[in-house]
Chains A and B, each alone.
Chain A
């Protein structure tokens, strides 16, 4: 069975600083997708970044980038130049065959 583990229930970062959220997953598949979703207080799930497992290059979206280590089954999210609007729950997720498995989430606090 696929599982997704986020070992940091909460994290804090100073505004404008960089923070990295950890995620590991377990799968026996070779082709799959990984995502980071953001859930702000509104509770709307927002896709932050997507990584295709067969691509070695780490995905990047503006201030958000990932460190994808396929052999280690690790998929961390780096947020650069943190902004107050980045405060939210962040969920790491694995998707294959249309079924998403979510981690338990990391609550990110931005300190002004």
Chain B
């Protein structure tokens, strides 16, 4: 149980275009989903926290107009990188928190590698 999927697993886009990444909880309802960014050989950096039906909370230094997050249902959150630039190239990971759990455990998706050319 507690499976989180991400789509696509890899995406290449041209500079100036927008790209959407989906994060789905497959077998549980996730009231809270999280988006992380991971640079090569670095740790995960939390970008934002999204709660179903409300606006996402962004971490300091993360541009909310650049990284649009939507959490329209208890099983789906999307991250849209708008007007992407090469410096946005990175590995993006989502996670989801089981609303019925009490251990603050997060279940992670397999990640999406974004390359902006």
Contact B104 A44 (CB under 8 A): no
Alpha-carbon distance between A100 and B46 when the two chains are bound, in angstroms: 8
> Which of B43, B49, B105 touches A50 (beta carbons < 8 Å)?
B105
Contact B103 A99 (CB under 8 A): no
> Which of A42, A91, A95 touches B43 (beta carbons < 8 Å)?
A91
Interface residues on A, range: 20 to 34
B18 on interface, CB distance cutoff 8 Å: no
Contact B93 A96 (CB under 8 A): no
Q: Which of A82-112 contact B (CB under 8 A)?
A: 91, 95-105
Contact B43 A104 (CB under 8 A): yes
Main secondary structure of the interface of A (DSSP, over half): strand
Please give the distance in Å from A18's CB to the nearest CB on chain B: 25
B67 on interface, CB distance cutoff 8 Å: no
Q: Which of B81-107 contact A (CB under 8 A)?
A: 91, 93, 95, 97, 103-106
Please give the distance in Å from B45's CB to the nearest CB on chain A: 8
Interface residues on B, range: 10 to 19
Please give the distance in Å from A6's CB to the nearest CB on chain B: 9
Alpha-carbon distance between A97 and B44 when the two chains are bound, in angstroms: 18
Interface residues of A (CB under 8 A from B): 33, 35, 37, 42-47, 50, 52, 91, 95-105
Interface residues of B (CB under 8 A from A): 32, 34, 38, 42-44, 46, 49, 91, 93, 95, 97, 103-106, 108, 110-111
Additional A-B contacts beyond A33-B105, A35-B105, A95-B104 (16; CB < 8 A): A33-B104, A43-B38, A43-B91, A44-B108, A44-B110, A45-B95, A46-B108, A50-B105, A95-B105, A98-B32, A99-B34, A100-B34, A101-B46, A102-B44, A103-B43, A105-B42
Q: Can you give 29 contacting A-B residue pairs, CB < 8 Å?
A: A33-B105, A35-B105, A37-B108, A43-B91, A43-B93, A43-B110, A43-B111, A44-B108, A45-B44, A45-B95, A45-B108, A50-B103, A50-B105, A52-B103, A91-B43, A95-B104, A96-B104, A97-B104, A98-B49, A98-B104, A99-B46, A99-B49, A100-B104, A100-B106, A101-B46, A102-B44, A103-B43, A104-B42, A105-B43
